[in-house]
């Protein structure tokens, strides 16, 4: 009887684990766009950033992530790569074709080097950014499109500054390749990676955990907006 009980318990645990895995949101990260004029942005970077964010999301274990090849074929069919925009209705169709519950669209809206202030003072978990020389400021707009409704369910601006100091090895999940290969140890590279980790943490919070972390992000967003608003001097 005891063995039977243990067997049933293990079977139920296995079913529960499968159900939990199936309940994970399935995300597709489409090609990043650039509106910043960053000097490191060159051919292929948009998909490289999408791939890096996909890796970070998959590493959390909280999401299932659609492969780039599947997304690219749908993008080509919908001719969205050239437009740089995701129409909500088209986004819904893309979601159905790729199997993604949500499509994540990112745009690098601002990039500056040797900037002292962050413009928002974000705190990125696990990152140690030190040094006293050059720094890089980056701002990334993220939109999460619901593939069932075609509506944008989550919108966030991530911004911060990385200096030329070290990065905690514990959160660094691989170097850059391709068009970004030369940015491995630069402030630009650190700013990019830190921003993507912050995006990952935010999406895991609002889409999966849905606990007290939401309040933390709301407070962080309020500080960011207050800081940005304060930078504008009105007559």
How far is the C-alpha of 38 from the C-alpha of 94, rounded, in Å? 29
HSE-up of 163 (CA within 13 Å, CB side)? 10
Q: Which run of H or E residues covers position 230?
A: helix 213-230
Q: Please indicate, yes or no, if residue 89 is contained in any of the structural domains.
A: yes
Q: What is the CATH number of the domain that holds 221?
A: 3.40.50.10610
Q: Write the CB contacts of 179 (distance below 8 Å, at least 6 apart in sequence).
A: 40, 42, 43, 44, 45, 48
Q: Please indicate, yes or no, if residue 13 is contained in any of the structural domains.
A: no
How far is the C-alpha of 75 from the C-alpha of 82, rounded, in Å? 9
- Burial class (CB within 10 angstroms; exposed 0-12, middle 13-18, buried 19+) of 229: exposed
Task: State in Å, rounded, how far the first CA of the chain is from the last one.
Answer: 81
The domain containing residue 72 runs over which residues?
Answer: 25-227
Assigned token pair, 148: 């069932």
In this predicted model, what pLDDT tens digit does every residue of 51-62 receive, in sequence order?
999 999 999 999
Q: Please indicate, yes or no, if residue 115 is contained in any of the structural domains.
A: yes
Q: Please indicate, yes or no, if residue 14 is contained in any of the structural domains.
A: no
pLDDT of residue 43: 82
Tally the domains of the chain: 1
Of 115, 117, 108, 139, nearest to 230 (Cα)? 117
Q: Please indicate, yes or no, if residue 204 is contained in any of the structural domains.
A: yes
Residues in the chain, overall count: 235
Q: Which residues of the chain have pLDDT under 70?
A: 1-22, 77-88, 115-133, 164-182, 184-185, 230-235
Q: Please indicate, yes or no, if residue 232 is contained in any of the structural domains.
A: no
Residue 219 sits at φ, ψ, to 5 deg, of -65, -40
pLDDT of residue 81: 46
Q: Please indicate, yes or no, if residue 205 is contained in any of the structural domains.
A: yes
């Amino acid at each position: 009887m005891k063995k039977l009980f243990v067997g049933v318990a293990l079977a139920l645990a296995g079913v529960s684990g499968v159900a939990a895995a199936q309940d994970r949101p399935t995300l597709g990260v489409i090609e990043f766009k650039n509106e910043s004029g960053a000097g490191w942005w060159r051919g292929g970077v948009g998909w490289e950033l999408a791939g890096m964010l996909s890796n970070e999301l998959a590493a959390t274990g909280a999401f299932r992530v659609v492969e780039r090849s599947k997304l690219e074929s749908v993008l080509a069919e919908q001719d969205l790569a050239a437009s740089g925009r995701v129409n909500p209705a088209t986004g819904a169709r893309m979601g159905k074709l790729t199997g993604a519950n949500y499509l994540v669209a990112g745009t690098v809206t601002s990039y500056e080097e040797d900037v002292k202030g962050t413009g928002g003072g974000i705190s990125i978990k696990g990152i140690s950014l030190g040094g006293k020389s050059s720094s890089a400021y980056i701002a990334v707009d993220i939109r999460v499109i619901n593939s069932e409704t075609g509506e944008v369910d989550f919108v966030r601006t991530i911004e911060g500054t990385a200096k030329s100091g070290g990065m905690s090895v514990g959160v660094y999940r691989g170097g850059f390749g391709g068009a970004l290969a030369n940015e491995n140890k630069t402030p630009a590279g650190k700013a990019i990676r830190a921003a993507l980790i912050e995006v990952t943490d935010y999406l895991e919070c609002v889409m999966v955990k849905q606990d007290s972390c939401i309040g933390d992000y709301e407070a962080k967003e309020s500080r960011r907006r207050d800081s940005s608003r304060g930078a504008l001097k009105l007559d």
